Structure 1
Amino acid sequence: MIRFHLKCDHDHSFESWFQSGDAFDKLARAGMVTCATCGSAKVTKSIMAPAVSTSSQVASPKPLDAALAKMRAAVEKNAAYVGGSFVKQARDMHDGVIPERPIYGEARLDEAKKLVDDGIPVMPLPFIPSKKTN
């Protein structure tokens, strides 16, 4: 996981976590990285310095880490992990084939982009989910 400092075309700054630099690039090209303030999809990485530890002790969690942990706990408590069937289940719920419920799972970038293009509301999680079922 890597945290990037990001900036949109409206000069809003924010941070987000990605699986890798390549993952950010792919998501950004697909328009799936949006500004946390205004929703703009024109987002670029800002200049950032690497985090360097000056102590052998583990630092206490930063506010962003705590917020991500809280978000992860809420997602895992209130949604069902559906793994690789995420795309099918999201589409089936949108089409009224199955009842709507909160889910999370896995999708390839092209599959997620197709869901978005078809008006099905999905978003990438800023963390790698545990593979739990509810």
Structure 2
Amino acid sequence: MKVLDLHCRSEHVFEGWFASEEDFQSQLARGLVQCPLCGDEQVQKRLSAPRLNLRASASARAPVPTAEPSPAPQLPSDASQAAAWLQRMRQAVAQSEDVGERFTEEARKMHWGEADQRPIRGQANIDQTLQLLEEGIPVLPLPPALKEPLQ
């Protein structure tokens, strides 16, 4: 597994995991690689030290950072696990309420007990997301691809 540091035209930086350089180039050419923050398909590799995921054991997988103190979820180690993880994420999205641009307002209301707790999703820019995190409100940016069917 080849792990690449990528960025979009808006300079959002993110990782991509690919079987090989050819796999990355193929997915890029087919428009399958997009920024998880803004959905931009104009993605480029950044200069980075090569990193290969050669072991599939749980101890070799890096945890995903979260805003909550609970244990972080583990990244999937192969394609079938990745598909199952993506399906679980899509189910979570389907079971949440889309509050759109009211996301930060609704998250704050729930955090301060002014609204009932419920799973929500919506839009927030980077500054709004950072403000929520600084206030102790856990948020998780989701890639736009979660709303599309699995390939």
Give TM class, smaller chain: 0.5 to 0.7
Q: CA deviation at 1:65?
A: 4.9
Partner of 2:103: 86
- Normalised to the residue count of structure 2, the TM-score between the two structures is 0.47
Alignment match, 2:121: 104
Distance 1:106 1:68 in 2: 22
Deviation at 1:5, TM superposition (A): 2.5
Give the ranges of 4+ consecutive aligned residues of structure 1 lying more than 3 Å apart after TM superposition: 18-21
How many Å apart are 1:78 and its aligned residue?
1.8
1:78/1:19 Cα in 2 relative to 1: closer, same or farther (>3 Å)?
A: farther
How far apart in 1 are the matches of 2:100 and 2:89? Answer: 16
| The one of 6, 20, 27 aligned to 2:8 | 20
Q: Deviations over 1:36-79 (max 9, x none)?
A: xxxxxxxxx69x753244xxxxxxxx336513531342123321
Q: Distance in 2 between matches of 1:19 and 1:67?
A: 26
The correspondence of residues 69-80 of structure 1 with structure 2, limited to 5 A, is 69-80=86-97
Percent of aligned pairs sharing the same letter: 28
* Post-superposition CA distance 1:81-105 (Å, at most 9, x none): 1111111100110011111100011
Alignment of 1:1-134 (within 5 A): 5=3, 20=8, 22-24=11-13, 49-50=20-21, 51=23, 52-53=25-26, 62-63=79-80, 65-125=82-142, 127-128=143-144, 129-130=146-147
Unaligned 5+ segments in structure 1 are: 7-14, 26-44, 54-61
Aligned-partner Cα distance in 2 for 1:83–1:19: 25
Structure 2 residues not aligned, in runs of 5+: 27-78
Structure 2 counterpart of 1:115, which letter?
L
Report the RMSD for the aligned CA atoms in angstroms.
3.7
SS in 1 for 2:99: strand
Distance 1:94 1:103 in 2: 12
Deviation at 1:123, TM superposition (A): 1.3
